[in-house]
Structure 1
Amino acid sequence: MTVPLSRRRLLTRAAALGGLLAVSGPLAACSRTEVGTGAPAGDADLLAKLRKQGHVRVGFAGEAPYGFQDGSELAGEAPTLHREIFKALGIGELKPTLTEFGALIPGLLAGRFDVVSAGMAITPERCAKVIFSEPEFVSPTALMVRKGNPKGLTDLRSCAAKGVRVGVLTAAVETSYAKEAGVRDPAVVSLAKQQDGLDALLAGRIDAFALTGISLRWLARTNEGAAVEVLDPFVPVVKGVEQYSPGGAVFRPGATSLRDAFNAELAKITGDPARYVGLIGKYGFTDREVPPRTLRTAELCKA
């Protein structure tokens, strides 16, 4: 990903849709739609339809390690989990469409694809428009520091206690996490993109770079040999609430049968940490990213 700014979860995205870029196969036109919504009719029977046709159309945003094109292959956390799940449901192929992040939900609702496969954050605002699977992962925050951790840091509170400079992505939630932990301006340093954080760390302009452990491990991997390390993740607390930043698959509101079948297979994977890490460990996911059984989408969707 230059590693594209994460997230679906971390950043407030612009509403502009931009163009849609098909990666493989033509975009099927919707011949039947629900009155007043533009969404395809018959979503209640979507699972049966997908089994019959043997493929599912997935939208993704080209953000490693969540969903991206690796040569000719659709790779990343979400496509890997989704391929496993849909195969278990009798649907053997993912047909991908690369889309601007802000266009994923509009494209889903318009019927350009059947599922969003992009590790999208589960938020109340999005739940008002679409339905989510149960969490596929949680995203504990971590710190990237110089090799050897010379400042002896562990989390954002330790950064505040030691008065160090903390790099965060512009408009990312880590800004509020750092300030909640007691790190004050000008010790909170905004950076444009993930690579800038690693470069600022090596140049001594910051002492720690705060982001999700997932993204930092991927950044370290794509800068192999750089004199940095990623510390153990931690879960920030804001106003007494633990900030897990969970993500999941996204479906149209009428596709509850497909969502429920998906959830049943997803639970078999998240309930087996060894299998979970075996599938997506190469993308930087560990057993720390396995969602707690008590973390449910219905609660996350509450405003």
Structure 2
Amino acid sequence: MSLWIDMVGTEIRTVNTPTFGRIRIAEAGPKDAPAILFQHGIGGHLEAYSKNLVPLSDEFRCIAFDYVGHAMSNRKAMEYTPPVLAEQVAELMDALELKKAHLSGESLGGWVSGFFSVIHPERVDRLMLNTGAGIPIVSDKGRADMLDLMERSKKAAGLAPTFESVKHRIAWLIHPKNQHLVTDELVNLRLKFYLMAEGREVTPMVNRMLGRHDEFLLPLEQIRHETMLLWTRDNPIHDLECAQAAVKRIRNSSLYVMKADGAHWPQYEDPEEFNRVARAFFAGRPL
């Protein structure tokens, strides 16, 4: 099935922010419903949430967006760090006239969401760190996974990205049992973004965040919101041991481990389970 069939029912448009320029968003759900901001991973794009926006839009105002430097948002030459991207979230919320929102972030999205919750605590309802980055890597395998991701990202978004290099990068996100999800359509979409002229210059700047991971570890003890770490048994880099250590440092937090097979994209690998858990968590209901 095409991911664009999953996106039927969303409104895709751009909004302007003062510092970061044009930001592409996809939105579904009533304007007066509680809002959830869904945030993708490094080198990614809002289509990472193509299977979640419409199913959850009956109860929430669901918004996914491209970070600055990614996909169809403004490709700006600048220093990229999670705290800087947290300010993009603030400006986007202002543009959308959102005083407060739930946050759900995958990988880089979780990293940025965690910083946003500390920098702008008054603007956050509930916080979901979905296989999020920014927590200490505690295993040798995790450190090896990081080096692997850095190499795949360099090849996928370098001077001459190819279908095969991008497919190799996306395959890293997906559990071996779910590799059928790495479709030609998904690969070609990301390849299109990487081949854009401005992307050739800016994407390597974005990818430098990987090498600076430990400079920007999340201040976990400063997170005060009701928080869920949604994890998989086979998440690369930040394995389950990382999540178990991190949840002990966050007040009012819980750890949910996906029952389905998944790696780094549980919202895409098993959207039915992800959507059920997200719906309950953001509504404040028991699972």
**TM above 0.5, one fold?**
no
TM-score by length of structure 2 reads 0.34
* Pair member with larger Rg: 1
Which structure is higher in RCO with an 8 Å CA cutoff and minimum separation 6?
1
